[in-house]
Every structure is written in structure tokens, then in C-alpha cells.
Amino acid sequence: MPMSPSYRDRLFPILPRVAARFGTPFHIYDETGIRETGRRLQQAFARLENFQEYFAVKALPNPRILQIIRDMGFGFDCSSIAELLLARQAGARGEALMFTSNNTSATEFQTALADGGSLLNLDDLSLVAKVPQMPETICFRYNPGPRRSGNSIIGNPVEAKYGVAHHQLIPAYQAAVARGARRFGLHTMLASNERNHTYMVQTVQMLLDVARWVSAELKIRFDFLNMGGGLGIPYHPDDAPFDLEAMATAVTGLLEDFGAEQGYVPRLCMESGRYMTGPHGVLVVTAINRKEIYRTYIGVDASMSALMRPAMYGAYHHIEVLGKTGDMPPQKVDVVGSLCENNDKFAIQRDLPPIDEGDLLVIQDTGAHGHAMGFNYNGKLRPKELLLCADGSVALIRRAETIDDYFATLEFEKQVLNP
Ligand SMILES: *Cc1c(COP(=O)(O)O)cnc(C)c1O
């Protein structure tokens, strides 16, 4: 099921007032739902002494959301300077930050090591020599290559640019030891939006096997294993939800077996983005045009600058029309934005209740990789973000972009070179 019945019940009755006060389009997120998912994650792994979720900041990089997540005791997975700064603004420091970059620059390393540092997750053997100073704890991202298959969003590991190849892993840890590293982590991230929990269990099994191998070769222990993110959510009403509890039980068992055999249990880390916030956001738009040509088009007041996933991945996002339920005979329509790209469509040949101009459409599951992925192509501006707070109030947590924002990076009369 897409957005939760609880969020729907709290949001839909107030939506006309919210839309009247703030104006569409907007993404609106649910504090209550995000907190519930966080608690569920903690409960699922309660048998492990120190499970740690590092929320993937790129999924929903808004300070108000990061504060809620920090408040639950979670850390942050960052992969850019801006994400590090956002996470530190939310109060995270040192080991509460994982820096999982790739193709990393010298300035990125400097920022990651400054201001209390962060856990460095290195993406390549060559980066060991480039870290300005080797921290005591170091992690490597592992790419299993042909040993595993990936999934459609992330792709086949052999073709993925990420991570250290299998045959370079021992040299990588060796090089880190030579530069002074004393504590170690192992990370991988192989799938995205994967709803089959056994894939994730196999990933942890793989990490444990690799940890056994590297430990035996180099006589080192692993402080932590990071299984990455990629837990899927049901975007389509027919999608089965990810079985979090089944995964956690199986993974806990694997770690306990490892503990019995090796005499210690590494800390388990996860860096979910989508699973934490995806279902707890919706994009609310107004129908502004209805066009009947070879197909019927419902034009809305947002475009793919507000939500890239349908255009980029052909992703399904469930849509409901406020106040119009299933009793009306549906009509087949394309729901479209105004960008001059024919893939600027939120839904293609979707059966929806008859839509009139002025109707509010609720495009669901936009809480992760939604607003964050937006861009300004064709001069389209990104919409505002709202938060439905736990006390029932609605707060503006990001204003809409303006034309002035769009022009802010242009025209520098004094920056001329006459070579
Ligand atoms: C994007 C990303 C995540 C989060 O992925 P989700 O599918 O949102 O869980 C986690 N780790 C890394 C390294 C990523 O790039």
C-alpha cells in the first residue's frame, strides 16, 4: 500500500485549508510516520546490542527532518560537503556521520575530517594515499563484481562505478594499516528499492564472509559492518511491503553465529533513506488544465522539477484526487507537468476519477528522492516543503524557489579574462 492510512486520515481532511494557506504545489511530510518507522527499525534490531541507522541525507536533505531523525538517535550517511554540513547542523558529529563518497576530492576529505571528523568510507584503494591524515577508524565500500547481481536502479555490480574490487580488498586494508588505521569497517550497497528481504540477508551474509576472510588474512577485527540502504517500499497498491522483521531476525541470527565462531559481534549499521521517509511524504498539486487530443491530459501546477522519479526511472507514484473516491467511473488520463519534455508525466494512462480544474491531486510516496532530486531545466522552479508536525500543526520548512533564485548565479561583470 502507498501512503499509510494513518497519514491519509490525518492529512486529507486538512488539505484544502493547507493548500489555501500555503498554495500548491508542495511536498508535505509526516513527522509521526517518520518517527514510527524509526522506532520500528530500532525494535526490529533490538536483539543486537548496538544497531545503528545512518539516515542517507540525500533522500530528504531538509534540516527539520534531519533534526527529527537525529532526535531518534540515528546518525547520517553523507556523500557531499553540503550533506556533511547539513548533518552537522542537525547536531551529528564524529562517529554519528558516515562519509560514503565516491570519486572523492581533496576538499571533500578535508571537510569530512574537520569539525570532529566522521567515519570515512573509502571507495577505492587509491584513496588510501590521498586521505590527508588516516583516521584511527577506516571503512571500505566493497564491490563484489560478478559474485553478486544487483537490481535495476543500481545496476549490475560489474558495471557499477562504486567500491573496491574483490582482489583489491586485502591490499586496501593493508595500506590503511600501514598508514596507521587501527579500527575497521566494511560497507556495501548493492540494491535500491529492493522489496525482497532475502536479498538484504544475503548481503549481510556476504559481508560476514568477507569479514571472516579479511580477518583471517590480516589478523584484524571488524568494528562494524554497514549493509547499506536500498530497502524498498510499496509504491504500487499491489506491491508487497518489505518484511523488515523477517530480515532483522535472519540478520541477527547470522551475526550471532559469527559471534559464536569469532568471539565478537561487529556493530551492524544500515543507511536507509527511502525506507525511513519515502512513504511519509506526498506532493500536492492542483489540476490547472484539461486537454483532450488523442489522449486526455490533466495538466497540473508542478513538473518533473518537483519529482523526477517517474521520468527518470518510469517509476509508479500512486495518485488520489481529493474528495473523489472510487465510486465514480474512472477515466484514463496522463497527468503532466509543463516542461518541454514528453517524459514530464506523473502518470501515464492511469485510471483516475474524473478530474476538474481546481481539483487537488495527491501524488504519493515522495518523501525520499523526491524534492531532493529536482532540477531547474527549462526554468522550472522547485516547490516548497511543508511538515505535518506531531502536534497537528503544519510548518513551512522550505520556501518555493523564486525567479531571483534562478538568476542568482548569473552575470559577473568584473570576472573577465583577456588572454
Ligand atoms: C542513496 C544511498 C543510500 C540510500 O538509499 P535508499 O535506497 O534511499 O535506502 C544509502 N547509501 C548510499 C551509499 C547511497 O548512495
For residue 44, give the CATH number of its domain: 3.20.20.10
Question: Mean pLDDT for the chain?
Answer: 96
Please, which pLDDT band fits residue 415 given cuts at 50, 70 and 90?
confident
Q: What's the rounded mean pLDDT across residues 184-194?
A: 95
For a mutational test of ligand 1's pocket, the pick from 271, 309, 312, 371, i.e. the residue with the most ligand atoms closer than 8 A to its C-beta, is 271
Asked which of 245, 277, 309 is the last residue of a domain, the reply is 277
Identify the pLDDT of residue 314: 94
- CA of 182 from ligand 1 middle (Å) equals 27
Ligand 1 pocket, 100 CB below 6 A? Answer: yes
- Does residue 314 share a domain with residue 189? no
Q: Is the distance from CB of 259 to CB of 265 less than 8 angstroms?
A: yes
Known catalytic residues? 340
Task: Please give the share of the chain, as a percent, with pLDDT higher than 90.
Answer: 92
For a mutational test of ligand 1's pocket, the pick from 122, 162, 189, i.e. the residue with the most ligand atoms closer than 8 A to its C-beta, is 189
Q: What's the rounded mean pLDDT across residues 181-186?
A: 98
Running DSSP on this structure, what letter comes out for residue 354?
A: -
Residue 345 falls inside a structural domain = yes
Domain that holds residue 239: 30-277
For the chain, helix (H) and strand (E) counts, in that order, are: 12, 18
How far apart are alpha carbons 215 and 266 in whole angstroms?
12
Whole-Å CA distances, 350 to 116, 229, 278, 319, 320: 50, 30, 22, 9, 11
Please, which pLDDT band fits residue 413 given cuts at 50, 70 and 90?
confident
- Does residue 378 share a domain with residue 259? no
How far apart are alpha carbons 275 and 59 in whole angstroms?
10
Q: What's the rounded mean pLDDT across residues 333-351?
A: 97
Ligand 1 pocket, 229 CB below 6 A? Answer: yes
> What's the number of domains the chain is made of?
2
Which residues lie below 8 Å from residue 362, measured CB to CB, with a gap of 6+? 3, 11, 12, 15, 282, 283, 284, 319, 320, 321, 322
- Does residue 311 share a domain with residue 241? no
Identify the pLDDT of residue 416: 85
- CA of 399 from ligand 1 middle (Å) equals 26
- Exposure of 42 in the CB half-sphere (CA atoms within 13 A): 12
Least confident of 10-14, 118-122, 326-330, 346-350: 326-330
- Which residue(s) pair with 54 in the sheet? 75
Task: Please give the share of the chain, as a percent, with pLDDT higher than 70.
Answer: 99
Identify the pLDDT of residue 148: 83
Residue 326 has pLDDT above 80, yes or no: no
Please, which pLDDT band fits residue 97 given cuts at 50, 70 and 90?
very high
Residue 278 has pLDDT above 90, yes or no: yes
* Closest atom of ligand 1 relative to the 229 alpha carbon: 9
Q: What's the rounded mean pLDDT across residues 302-327?
A: 94
Identify the pLDDT of residue 153: 61
Q: Closest Cα to residue 127, out of 175, 67, 55, 61?
A: 175
Q: Is the distance from CB of 334 to CB of 298 less than 8 angstroms?
A: yes
Identify the pLDDT of residue 119: 98
Identify the pLDDT of residue 152: 60
Q: What's the rounded mean pLDDT across residues 104-128?
A: 97
Asked which of 223, 254, 277 is the last residue of a domain, the reply is 277
Whole-Å CA distances, 314 to 249, 282, 343, 350: 33, 18, 9, 13
State pLDDT tens for residues 312-323: 999 999 999 999
Q: Is the distance from CB of 2 to CB of 237 less than 8 angstroms?
A: yes
Residue 187 has pLDDT above 70, yes or no: yes
- Does residue 261 share a domain with residue 282? no
CATH classification of the domain holding 311: 2.40.37.10
Which residues lie below 8 Å from residue 137, measured CB to CB, with a gap of 6+? 95, 119, 120, 181, 182, 183, 184, 185, 223
Burial class (CB in 10 A: 0-12, 13-18, 19+), 381: middle
φ, ψ dihedrals at 282, nearest 5°? -135, 155
- CA of 77 from ligand 1 middle (Å) equals 8
- Does residue 254 share a domain with residue 283? no
Residue 294 falls inside a structural domain = yes
Q: Closest Cα to residue 400, out of 384, 387, 385?
A: 384
Q: Is the distance from CB of 37 to CB of 280 less than 8 angstroms?
A: yes
Residue 6 has pLDDT above 70, yes or no: yes
* Residue 15 backbone class (left: φ over 0; alpha: ψ -120 to 50; beta: rest): alpha
Q: Where are the beta strands (DSSP E) in 57-182?
A: 75-78, 94-100, 118-122, 137-143, 164-165
- Exposure of 193 in the CB half-sphere (CA atoms within 13 A): 19
- CA of 151 from ligand 1 middle (Å) equals 13
Residue 117 falls inside a structural domain = yes
